[in-house]
Amino acid sequence: MTKPVQTVAPALPGAPSALRIFGASKRFGDHLVLDGVDFDLAAGEVHALLGENGAGKSTLMNILSGIYTADAGRIEIEGAAVSIAGPSAAVALGIGMVHQHFKLVQPFTGRENLHLAAAGLPLVPRRAVVEEQIAAVVKRSALDVNLDVPVARLSVAEQQRIEILKALLLGARILVLDEPTAVLTDAEADRLLALVRDLAAQGHAIIFITHKLREVLAAGDRVSVLRRGRMVLASHAVEDVTRDDLSRAMIGDQETTQRRRSGSTPGPVLLEVTGLGVRDGGAAYVSDAGLSLRAGEIHGLAGVGGNGQRELAEAILGLRAATGQVALEGRDLTGLSVAARRRLGLRYVPADRSADALAPNVSLAENLAATLVRTGALGRRMVWPSRVRQHAAAMVQSYGIAGATGGGRRPVRLLSGGNAQKVVLARELDRDARLIIAHSPTRGLDVAACAYVHERLLEAVARGAGVLLISEDLEEVLALSDRISVISRGRIATTPDGRPDRAQIGELMLGHA
Amino acid sequence: MLETVTLERRQGAGAVRAALTYAGALALGLALSLAVLVAAGVPTGALFNELVVQVFLSPAGLARTVTMATPMMLGALAAALCLRLKFWNIGIEGQLWLGAICATAVALYDIGGPLRLPLMMVAAMAGGALWILPSALLKMWLGVSEVIVTLLMSNIAFLLLQHLLFGPFRDPTFNFPTSPVFGEAEKLARFGWGDVNGGLVLALVAVALAALALGRLRYGYAARFVGDNPKAALALGFPAGRVLLLSILAGGAMAGLAGGVIVAGTEYRLTQAVGLNMTFNGIVIAALARNAPGWIPLVALFIAGLYVAGASLKVFYGVSEGIVLIAQGIILLVLVTAQFVTTYRVRLARGVVA
């Protein structure tokens, strides 16, 4: 199943080792997030770290920055074995993290933020001394950014530079950049890459986490790939790997378990999305997205999380303002409310059940009956609790929802993840459902619950409904979908035949650039 | 490894356990307040008479308590209807004053002929709803904190009240800033039992309607969803904005009605003292009743009882206002604590903090 670990390329000849991790493992409950991971980093090197969501990158970096403790494994910094007891210990060891979400005090200026960070150092240094250090770091790193306006008024790229300055000010020799370009425009990203190369040339060791192949090729010296907690491609020189190697390593190359019903005859077009755009506060989440889906079909939309999936789903449902056109069974949905779209048979299984689908403190029975109450099917004005309970009892039985004691009077938050998802499915996959948008419908579920969700989605399709399956789990997409598209930076792409294979999906995910 | 303290919601608190907790807390609170009162010089023998007989058991005492509790029920509804949708109405007094002003205006300008009294009550509700409207719209459109806006709107309402009492509404035959006394057709009927009046009927009807709407109507169902998780409610197609606005306006109307009931039921004129402390009392009662309308009358009676007892302690034993407030505060504190421990459990955990 897993590719054999390939030979490790030597670090830059003669460069001293900055960091070595041997056999790091971390388990959360039953889930082995990191499984004996080795990693090495040389001074003056940019080491790119690739991997899908949930591959274990963040866990590895959290171990490095002292947020988690590894269950097993050893860490050496500059040749000496260390134990990283907490975030401050990591800082003392010269490890600097630049998180994806910046940790800056927005109303403070950049300078004030830097002073604040320096105040965390042992023996609070005097202001003048900190000023001197800031000046020295700015000069050395050639990071130019206005330090005297409130951070809130700076662009994301400028805030990021302040974060990097902060790490350098605290004496970081090992710099971890967690998906630093995810929030940047292409031009800003190029500037960041140049900066990263400069910092490496000054002797800093840099771990560069990214999803984008272009950046690996442009700025990386070596590259490693994590998949499902294992290092599947360890420390290869960037010149020696091809795009194909990387996408294969990221998403695996085993044969799909089985492609579903390749010979089924598709029904009439159910959903037609054309030129859909979603913008919010200047940022484009979805651009010129097109998609079509037929009755009796599952259309899988693969992609790394945060590439516009949620915004796309919410735009189709009518929760978000969007440009372009969405048509359901030939009927233009522009201007229709969520309730009106639902009346036409649109259903939504959101990625985050507790945040977007369920009212956690409301009873199980009332959560199950929510759509019926809204449409007035359980009474035009009055809602009779007995009818709500009756409906709930029927659903509990037909979906096998466990933990529904006392006629479903208990709040729904007390259910396990799998049972909570069954509540959502019971509500959304009713007889009148025409198009079901299912976003990561099996996230966080165990194997049995996953299988159950898949079975129910296939049943809905067999009844003639259509399913738009948005998922970060490629296995799920490959196993269930009749057609597959990939969303990347808010754009939807696919191959001409609508059935990209694993390698093609990998390339589409990496955005081709 | 860090040691952490976490709060965990109890998995469906048992009714017996909750009842025992509340009873124990109430006993503890009463014991502590009694100790304070005794230390302040109230004779031990008089305590039962003052705190129980004169407040709840003697007909005259109970009438005083019920009269005081009447507007409190409406004030508590004003808090609860909003709080159920996580809208903190800190301006109940402001809405109450507007209600009292509007009712008084109807009375003073002789509007409505034979329908004068009903019109006064409708005007009171309209005034309260109107006064909360800006806070609701600012919150919904611009995300401005309702805590600030409702609070400041109260200050504006008070200035308006003063302006009217020193100006157009002032009773020319009297030296104090009060309106003229209402005519007979502008007073709520009394039942020959102390000052208890038709306002009690209005308050109980309002409580019953609120309980019905929240428990049995589609509106109440939607309100539960919108209050608990507005994002999910929107995704399900519930008109979250309309439900929110309707609930807030209903809350404001209840506060306004409280003002109307006070001027037409007990004061018979508009004064500066109308509805003082109603924001605090309304929120406390709503919180103790867990925003359930059905519990509000009972809790309102209890809180009103504390005030009635406090008033007579002040008069007859020279106990200072501060002591009375301390005793009331102790009882409220233990009750709120009991509510907390029936909802959550405190847990010490050793482990890694994510």
Mean pLDDT lowest among A264-268, A462-466, B91-95, B273-277: A264-268
Hey, are the CB atoms on B218 and A373 less than 8 Å from each other?
yes
Contact A201, A44 (CB under 8 A): yes
CB of A362 within 8 Å of a chain B CB? The answer is: yes
Q: Which of B280, B296, B312 is the last residue of a domain?
A: B296
Q: How many residues are present in chain B?
A: 354
pTM confidence score: 0.73
Q: Is A268 helix (H, G, I), strand (E, B) or coil?
A: coil
Instruction: Provide the domain count of chain B.
Output: 2
Q: Which residues of B are less than 8 Å from A373 in CB distance?
A: 218, 221-222
Residues B183 and B250 in one domain: yes
The mean pLDDT of B20-44, rounded to a whole number, is 88
Contact A467, A298 (CB under 8 A): yes
Q: What Å distances lie between residue A17 and A12, A64, B154, CA to CA? A: 10, 16, 67
Contact B72, B64 (CB under 8 A): no
CB atoms within 10 A of CB A42: 22
Q: B237: nearest CA in chain A?
A: A339
CB of B235 within 8 Å of a chain A CB? The answer is: yes
What is the tens place of the pLDDT at every residue in B184-214? 999 999 998 999 999 999 999 999 999 999 9
CB of A384 within 8 Å of a chain B CB? The answer is: yes
With 80 as the cut, is the pLDDT of residue B234 above it?
Answer: yes
Pick B237's closest partner by Cβ from A339, A366, A413.
A339
CB of B60 within 8 Å of a chain A CB? The answer is: no
Pick B234's closest partner by Cβ from A319, A362, A413.
A319
Residues B351 and B241 in one domain: no
Which of B235, B242, B214 lies closest to A382, judged by CA?
B214
What is the tens place of the pLDDT at every residue in B285-298? 998 898 999 999 99
Report chain B's mean pLDDT, rounded to a whole number. 90
Residues B19 and B97 in one domain: no
Residues B80 and B225 in one domain: yes
Which of A305, A427, A446 lies closest to A371, judged by CA?
A427
Hey, are the CB atoms on A379 and B218 less than 8 Å from each other?
yes
CB atoms within 10 A of CB B159: 11
**How many whole angstroms separate alpha carbon A487 and alpha carbon A99?**
24
Residue B303 lies inside a defined structural domain of this protein: no
Q: Which of residues 324-353 of B touch A (CB under 8 A)?
A: 352
Residues B203 and B159 in one domain: yes
Residue B52 lies inside a defined structural domain of this protein: no
Cβ neighbours of residue A177 closer than 8 Å, sequence gap 6 or more: A98, A164, A196, A206, A207, A208, A209
Q: Which residues of B are less than 8 Å from A357 in CB distance?
A: 232, 235-236
Cβ neighbours of residue A391 closer than 8 Å, sequence gap 6 or more: A365, A368, A369, A372, A378
CB of B239 within 8 Å of a chain A CB? The answer is: yes
CB of B192 within 8 Å of a chain A CB? The answer is: no
With 90 as the cut, is the pLDDT of residue B46 above it?
Answer: no
Residue B267 lies inside a defined structural domain of this protein: yes
Residues B267 and B337 in one domain: no
Looking at CA atoms only, how far is residue B3 from chain A in angstroms? Answer: 14
| pLDDT value, residue B92 | 97
Q: Which residues of B are less than 8 Å from A437 in CB distance?
A: none
| pLDDT value, residue A358 | 94
Residue B99 lies inside a defined structural domain of this protein: yes
Looking at CA atoms only, how far is residue A172 from chain B in angstroms? Answer: 23
**How many whole angstroms separate alpha carbon A336 and alpha carbon A225?**
45
Q: Which residues of A are less than 8 Å from B354 in CB distance?
A: 67-68
Cβ neighbours of residue B321 closer than 8 Å, sequence gap 6 or more: B314
Q: What is the dihedral of CA A139, A145, A151, A152, to 10 degrees?
A: -170
Residue B338 lies inside a defined structural domain of this protein: yes
**How many whole angstroms separate alpha carbon B254 and alpha carbon B125?**
6
Print pLDDT tens along chain A (513 aa): 344 444 455 555 567 888 999 999 988 766 788 999 999 999 999 999 988 766 888 889 989 988 888 889 999 998 889 988 888 889 889 999 998 778 888 889 989 998 888 876 666 667 888 888 888 888 888 788 888 989 888 888 888 889 999 999 888 999 999 888 877 777 788 888 999 999 999 899 999 988 777 788 888 899 999 888 888 888 888 888 887 788 778 777 554 444 455 445 678 999 999 999 998 877 788 999 999 999 999 999 998 877 889 999 999 999 999 999 999 999 999 889 999 999 999 999 998 888 899 999 899 999 999 988 888 888 888 888 888 989 999 999 888 888 776 668 888 888 877 888 999 999 999 989 999 999 999 887 766 778 889 999 999 999 899 999 999 888 889 889 999 999 988 899 888 888 888 888 888 887 653
Q: Is A475 helix (H, G, I), strand (E, B) or coil?
A: helix
Residues B127 and B271 in one domain: yes
Residue B197 lies inside a defined structural domain of this protein: yes
Residues B174 and B260 in one domain: yes
Alpha helices in B217-319 (DSSP H): 218-228, 230-235, 240-262, 278-288, 296-317
| pLDDT value, residue A124 | 64
Pick B234's closest partner by Cβ from A338, A360, A411.
A338
Name the residue type at position A119.
A
Q: Which residues of B are less than 8 Å from A374 in CB distance?
A: 218, 222, 236-238
Give the mutation candidate from B84, B209, B229 for the A interface (greatest A CB count, under 10 A): B229
**How many whole angstroms separate alpha carbon B146 and alpha carbon B138?**
8
Cβ neighbours of residue A386 closer than 8 Å, sequence gap 6 or more: none
Pick B229's closest partner by Cβ from A360, A373, A382.
A360
Cβ neighbours of residue B79 closer than 8 Å, sequence gap 6 or more: B89, B92, B251, B282, B283, B285, B286, B287, B291
- DSSP letter for A329, please: T
Residue A247, both tokens: 């996408």
Hey, are the CB atoms on A370 and B225 less than 8 Å from each other?
yes
Residues B124 and B221 in one domain: yes
| pLDDT value, residue B153 | 97
Q: Is B136 helix (H, G, I), strand (E, B) or coil?
A: helix
| pLDDT value, residue A266 | 73
Hey, are the CB atoms on B218 and A411 less than 8 Å from each other?
no
| pLDDT value, residue A58 | 82
Residues B194 and B343 in one domain: no
**How many whole angstroms separate alpha carbon B54 and alpha carbon B49?**
6
| pLDDT value, residue B3 | 46
Residues B70 and B199 in one domain: yes
Q: Is A470 helix (H, G, I), strand (E, B) or coil?
A: strand
Q: Which residues of B are less than 8 Å from A358 in CB distance?
A: 229, 232
Residue B309 lies inside a defined structural domain of this protein: no
**How many whole angstroms separate alpha carbon B78 and alpha carbon A467?**
45
**How many whole angstroms separate alpha carbon A61 and alpha carbon A46?**
15
Hey, are the CB atoms on B12 and A411 less than 8 Å from each other?
yes
Hey, are the CB atoms on B235 and A338 less than 8 Å from each other?
yes
**How many whole angstroms separate alpha carbon A330 and alpha carbon A345?**
13
Alpha helices in A65-155 (DSSP H): 87-92, 110-118, 127-141
Contact A301, A321 (CB under 8 A): no
Q: What Å distances lie between residue B135 and A400, A493, B247, B252, B282, CA to CA? A: 46, 46, 13, 10, 18
Q: What is the CA radius of gyration of chain B?
A: 22
Q: Which residues of A are less than 8 Å from B212 in CB distance?
A: none
Cβ neighbours of residue B12 closer than 8 Å, sequence gap 6 or more: A410, A411, A414
Name the residue type at position A320.
R
Q: A480: number of CA atoms within 13 Å, CB side? A: 34
Q: What Å distances lie between residue A193 and A181, A238, B55, CA to CA? A: 9, 15, 78
Q: Which residues of A are less than 8 Å from B3 in CB distance?
A: none
Hey, are the CB atoms on B236 and A355 less than 8 Å from each other?
no
Confidence label for B179 from pLDDT (cuts 50, 70 and 90): very high
Residues B229 and B270 in one domain: yes
Hey, are the CB atoms on A383 and B12 less than 8 Å from each other?
no
Hey, are the CB atoms on B236 and A410 less than 8 Å from each other?
no
CB atoms within 10 A of CB A429: 20
CB of A321 within 8 Å of a chain B CB? The answer is: no
Which of A365, A366, A348 lies closest to A357, judged by CA?
A348
Which domain range does residue B350 map to? 1-41+320-354
Cβ neighbours of residue A290 closer than 8 Å, sequence gap 6 or more: A273, A274, A275, A276, A492
Q: State the pairing for strand pair A323-328/A331-332.
A: antiparallel
CB of A356 within 8 Å of a chain B CB? The answer is: yes
Residue B310 lies inside a defined structural domain of this protein: no
Q: Which residues of A are less than 8 Å from B8 in CB distance?
A: none
| pLDDT value, residue B353 | 38
Hey, are the CB atoms on B229 and A371 less than 8 Å from each other?
no
Q: Which residues of A are less than 8 Å from B221 in CB distance?
A: 366, 373, 383
Strand order in the sheet with A205-209: A95-98, A174-178, A205-209, A46-50, A222-227, A230-237
